[in-house]
Amino acid sequence: MLSTESLPRPVARVATVTRRFQKFLLVGAIGLAVNQSALFALVALAGAPIVAASPLAILLSMAVTFTLNERWTWHDRGRGRLLHRALMYGSINSGGLLINWFTLVSLDRMGLNYLIANLIGAGIAAVWNFSLNHALTWRD
């Protein structure tokens, strides 16, 4: 495998961000599985309304993804205390939670299956979450 050290700095930076984004997507897939499972359990099995179940499922997946991102995706970055990064991650991903929730509720009201609507909302929120967490939570 080609080392990024032998590449020009701008190219190496793009390669590093690309690899990090790939890790973020894998962690996100795990988080999405947690989110979808919890959402299904809360709605289909426990009878909770979607508008209440979605934020709970997202919060659970946020805890899982923060841990995985801290230990793997951005293991080499991040300054200061873990609590500070966790609070920053929670703040940023709360914006993602709102994006996901609004998309889910809107598409559900338009007749789309809630689990498919949740996938769409999570996909949109992932762009927000990665961009801001890369720039702020685990910055150089």
129 by Cβ neighbours in 10 Å (0-12 / 13-18 / 19+) ranks as: buried
Number of folded domains in the chain?
1
Per-residue model confidence as pLDDT tens digits over 35-58:
999 999 999 999 999 999 999 999
Single out the residue of 21, 19, 34, 14 nearest to residue 118, CA to CA: 34
Q: What is the pLDDT of residue 36?
A: 97
Q: Which domain holds residue 45?
A: 20-137
Dihedral pair phi/psi, residue 44, rounded to 5°:
-75, -35
Residue 46 CA to its chain's centroid (Å): 25
User: Could you tell me where the DSSP H helices lie in 69-132?
Assistant: 82-109, 114-132
Give the separation between CA 137 and CA 134, rounded to whole angstroms.
6
Quote the pLDDT of residue 106.
98
The C-alpha atoms of residue 5 and residue 32 are separated, in whole angstroms, by 34
Q: Is 27 a domain residue? A: yes
Query: How high is the pLDDT of residue 3?
Result: 67
Residues of the chain with pLDDT under 70: 1-4, 78, 140
